[in-house]
Amino acid sequence: MLKYLELKEKPREFLSVTSLTDEEFQALLPTFERCYQSSSKPKPKALKKKKQRAGGGGRKAKLSEMSDKLLFILAYQKTAPLQTLHGLHFGLSQGRVNYWVHRLLPVLQMSLGELGMKPERVGGRVGGLIEASEGGANLSLDASERGLQRPVNGDKQKAKYSGKKRTHTDKNLLLVNENTKKVVYLSETVEGKKHDKKLANESQISKSVSGKCEFDARYWISRLSTERSFGAPTKKKREDKN
């Protein structure tokens, strides 16, 4: 069973599971705990006096420590496992995993927002971000496509169909600062069949970013700004042997 106190002694495995070093984890933990406490609903007052339970009695919580709660949700976000499998790692049933994912995911988002670690979601604002120019102009633009379970509803199936055989997907556009390895911009989630170039144009990211920008060669944005353009290298024509 995964426990923070045990896993932190293995730095390589800890980084693989959470995408954070122990120092980064410790920096996030106080904010996470504060957001967890502020989002907790107050317990209703008992209508009648309850029987006092002896100290140490009752069921033992699997995620009693705040560090284990943070490890739980970071590992879920990083590895995206089935809830049953994730429960086996933390000694929880699938039902309890589902509860804790819905309980802790908003807390994690709130914590990252307070620390200023969430990526920008509006493409037109990226050009004024310090994160976009930190370390010099060296940005990468690419789309990330992820598979979905095929929807049962026929209309939803058609909307989510990626155009690839028996594959239903969602897609996001990401802009990454190669110097800091941070995601500067994350677009809205769209259907996977939408072309990367069309998504980039709709997000207006091409009009706001300045500086050198590398990109996936599967699509070409003809003009990134008035100062420069970026595109795929021209493929050489095959010579006629005759």
Domain shared by 92 and 165, yes or no: no
pLDDT, one tens digit per residue, over 158-191 is: 888 888 878 888 899 888 888 888 888 888 888 8
Mean pLDDT, to the nearest integer, of 120-133? 80
Task: Select, from the ranges 35-44, 101-110, 118-127, the one with the highest average predicted confidence (pLDDT).
Answer: 101-110
Residue 51, in any domain of the structure: no
Domain shared by 85 and 157, yes or no: no
Mention every residue, 6+ apart, whose C-beta is less than 8 A from residue 94: 83, 84, 87
Across all residues in the chain, what is the average pLDDT?
A: 81
The 3-class secondary structure across the chain, one letter per residue, is CCCHHHHCCCHHHHHHHHCCCHHHHHHHHHHHHHHHHHHCCCCCCCCCCCCCCCCCCCCCCCCCCHHHHHHHHHHHHHHCCCHHHHHHHHCCCHHHHHHHHHHHHHHHHHHHHHCCCCCECCHHHHHHCHHHHCCCCCEEEEEEEEECCCCCCHHHHHHHECCCCCCEEEEEEEEEECCCCEEEEECCCEECCCCHHHHHHHHCHHHHCCCCEEECCCCCCCCCCCCCCCCCCCCCCCCCCC
Domain shared by 140 and 99, yes or no: no
Mean pLDDT, to the nearest integer, of 184-213? 78
Domain shared by 137 and 102, yes or no: no
Residue 45, in any domain of the structure: no
pLDDT, one tens digit per residue, over 50-67 is: 677 666 666 778 898 999
**Domain of residue 17, residue span:** 4-39+65-114
Domain shared by 34 and 98, yes or no: yes
For residue 22, the model assigns a pLDDT of 94
Domain shared by 149 and 82, yes or no: no
Among residues 90, 114, 138, which one ends one of the domains?
A: 114
Among residues 93, 114, 135, which one ends one of the domains?
A: 114
Q: What is the pTM of this model?
A: 0.69
And the tokens for 13?
């495995």
pLDDT, one tens digit per residue, over 75-91 is: 999 988 889 999 999 99
pLDDT reading at 34 higher than 90:
yes
